[in-house]
Chain A
């Protein structure tokens, strides 16, 4: 245990800011997961791998001399079509089945993607340099890499666009209708098959954006997807489905929690503490639920 983070106020500020910026990025990935989960009742284990694939798109643009920031536009377009393709090939066969089947199917996709990426891009750890520089605050005591600020800004931008799209567009309304009641939506003339495909595509596109941002701020590697899947799962569990402000808040909360766990418990417990929190929240939810039931009795 190390409480250095509280002894120096500047470290506390730094940890909070780092956490919030990281959390916004997590929230973007989690939002895609929540959308898909809510609409199609599918928990996508391959979420993190889609993120990494998006990262590779930005990385290859960087390799060919294009600034990786353009990846946030190119990656979602490519990933959207890839998402639709995955839906047509695999997901539409499991979408009405039980949750367990879809978890297995997406788990398979995840393994396939990892191996394919490893085969195609090699096992090296790579990153794309944005050369965005650094912002110094509070007399140089708090440093914020501009790449992190850029990531947070783009994530928020995409989230806002998506919310507006969901509210205003025809497809957005169809998606929301399907999420509420797929059968009723179908009766009322919504082509649910198309809605499912689009939802999966939108999720993949969001992963693409997040991946491009991760290649700019952190590093990517074919086998690094799983922690992103777990974090988004965790955020969705906390926030609940179809609750966008909740996803954003729990994303940032998780980011800050991770940073503080890192300082206090040590870096080695960073991911472990996320798992621990997941268990605690699930237990707490169950506890709350059982009390409600008793009350009803």
Chain B
């Protein structure tokens, strides 16, 4: 009998708790605009998930402390409900559903990775919930005709095509030979398509086209082929593990290639893990702190990086910077729409044309940002072994001159 009472009171306490929490989770409550986000706080994307969350939080605090969002003559503050999607697309889609239909969220921020964004986009689209995402670059996100999806970052096919152009330019405009090694996931395959386009455009030739497995930790076979074929450029994209494995084995096997271009060097902390072995690697990046874009909230890249480091204790990777930019886009759109009507906010988002510390933002009809080029940086080390990433392309933003061709291992 007593046990029954205890259970009953426990259940009723839970019911009360949930009913109050649901009530407080409507889209705009009092002076708060509540955004929803499913983020990978556990699972295989957890480190980049945390970078994303830190980026979001940093921008929320900054915007709120600098006057918030002004809509209809009233000032509002941002707040975000987070759920952990466990790096699992199915879970992410469920959580998006829950955020929208249970928690009443009417505006969403994106998750980390193309795969999870792909899982969430159909849900937000179905409910007509505008979503600004900062970490899904796969080209297929922008060809589905989504009306409520906006990405502040450049699509994946633009990651490394700059490298091919650069190699051709260094070869006095003559075509080059390219070796490619790409993981078999949506993102890397999109990067590959971009490189293929660039190869075709410049009349270059691909000599190796390897697809790396998901469980990749050995690419010796690819590198042996590279040694034999001696291409002008080696392009590798396989997330963090691809970058780390490539650098380790290129150094161990003394593979000489005039240009090595990769993705995810930032997240892989290449120079920290590999020191001088990572020198001369070219890395595609959405953002670098030395770029001189400006806004009123974070001032510029260098200030953002310093503030971020003060708050979170590490140098911000581009995943954090683009996540912060997503909030700036939302604020701008709310103020221009001067309303919380989802359709009006959506239209305001579509008409975005602004500069942030992260870069210019202007959306194509597909939702991708077409106003921000990718940058390439090169890992450069001094004699003491301290390495730094220096932007080398495009020329407009370059803070150092590209070292090309990469010196041979026997001369290092």
From B225, B245, B253, give the contact of A4 (CB < 8 A).
B225
Residues on A with C-beta less than 8 A from B6 are: none
Q: How far is the CB of A39 from chain B (nearest CB, A)?
A: 29
Q: Are A125 and B252 interface neighbours, CB within 8 A?
A: no
B347: min CB distance to chain A, Å: 38
| Interface residues of A, Cβ cutoff 8 Å to B | 4, 8, 11, 14-15, 18, 22, 115, 118-119, 122-127, 129, 134, 136, 140, 143, 145, 147, 214, 218-224, 226-227, 259, 262-263, 266-268, 270-271
Does B1 interact with chain A (Cβ within 8 Å)?
Answer: no
Question: Binary interface profile of B, 196-238, with partner A (CB < 8 Å = 1, else 0)?
Answer: 0000000000000011110101111110110110000000000
Q: 12 pairs across A/B with beta carbons < 8 Å?
A: A123-B47, A124-B47, A129-B274, A143-B227, A143-B254, A147-B252, A214-B217, A219-B217, A220-B217, A227-B215, A267-B212, A268-B212
Q: Contacts of B220 on A, CB cut-off 8 Å? A: 18, 259
Chain B residues with CB below 8 A from A221, complex form? 44, 217, 241
A118 and B181 contacting across the interface, CB-CB below 8 Å: no
User: Which residues of B lie under 8 Å from residue A224 when comparing CB positions?
Assistant: 215, 217
Residues of A within 8 A of B47 (CB): 122-124
| Cβ-defined contact, B221 with A259, below 8 A | yes
Residue in B213, B228, B249, B275 whose CB lies within 8 Å of A11: B228
Query: What is the minimal beta-carbon distance from B248 to any residue of chain A, in angstroms?
Result: 6
CB-CB < 8 A to A122: which residues of B?
46-47
| A224 CA / B217 CA spacing, docked (Å) | 9
Closest to B248 in A: A127
A sample of 6 more A-B contacts (CB under 8 A), given A145-B249, A221-B217, is: A125-B244, A129-B275, A143-B254, A147-B252, A219-B217, A220-B217
Is the beta-carbon distance between A219 and B228 smaller than 8 angstroms? no
Are the C-beta atoms of A271 and B215 separated by less than 8 Å? Answer: yes
CA A119 – CA B47 in complex, angstroms? 10
Interface size of B by Cβ–Cβ distance < 8 Å?
A: 37
- How many angstroms from the CA of A219 to the CA of B44 in the assembled complex? 15
- Shortest CB-to-CB span from B86 to chain A, Å, is 9
Distance (Å) between the CB of B410 and the closest chain A CB? 9
B123 CB within 8 Å of chain A? no
Contacts of B244 in A (CB 8 A): 125, 127, 219
CB-based nearest A residue for B223: A143
A134 touches B241 (CB 8 A): no
CA distance A214 to B222 in the complex (A): 19
Find chain B residues with CB under 8 A from A270 CB.
213
In the complex, per-residue mask of B329-342: 1 if CB is within 8 Å of any chain A CB, else 0: 00000000000000
Q: Does B42 contact A (CB under 8 A)?
A: yes
Assess whether B215 is in contact with A8, with CB atoms less than 8 Å apart. Answer: no
Q: Is the CB of A267 within 8 A of B254?
A: no
Distance of A262 Cα from B223 Cα, bound (Å): 12
Assuming the contacts A224-B217, A267-B222, asked whether A123 and B46 have C-beta atoms less than 8 A apart, the reply is yes
Partner of A145 from the list B46, B213, B222, B253 (CB cut-off 8 Å) is B253
Contact B245 A11 (CB under 8 A): no
Q: Is the CB of B215 within 8 A of A267?
A: no
Q: Which 4 A-B pairs have the closest CB atoms?
A: A145-B252, A268-B211, A262-B221, A218-B217
Contacts of A268 in B (CB 8 A): 184, 210-213
Q: Give the distance to chain B from A226, nearest Cβ to Cβ, in Å.
A: 7
Bound together, the chains give a CA A170 to CA B350 distance in angstroms of: 77
Q: Are A219 and B211 neighbours in the complex by a CB distance under 8 Å?
A: no
Asked whether, in the complex, the Cβ of B221 is within 8 Å of the Cβ of A15, the reply is yes
Contact B213 A134 (CB under 8 A): no
Would you call B43 and A219 a contact (CB within 8 A)? no
Residues of A within 8 A of B227 (CB): 143
- List the B residue with the shortest CB-CB distance to A262: B221
Taking the complex as formed, is B268 at the interface, i.e. its CB lies under 8 A from any CB of chain A? yes
Interface assignment of B45: CB less than 8 Å from any CB of chain A: yes
Whether the pair A267, B219 counts as a contact (CB closer than 8 A) is yes
Closest-by-CB residue of B relative to A2 is B225
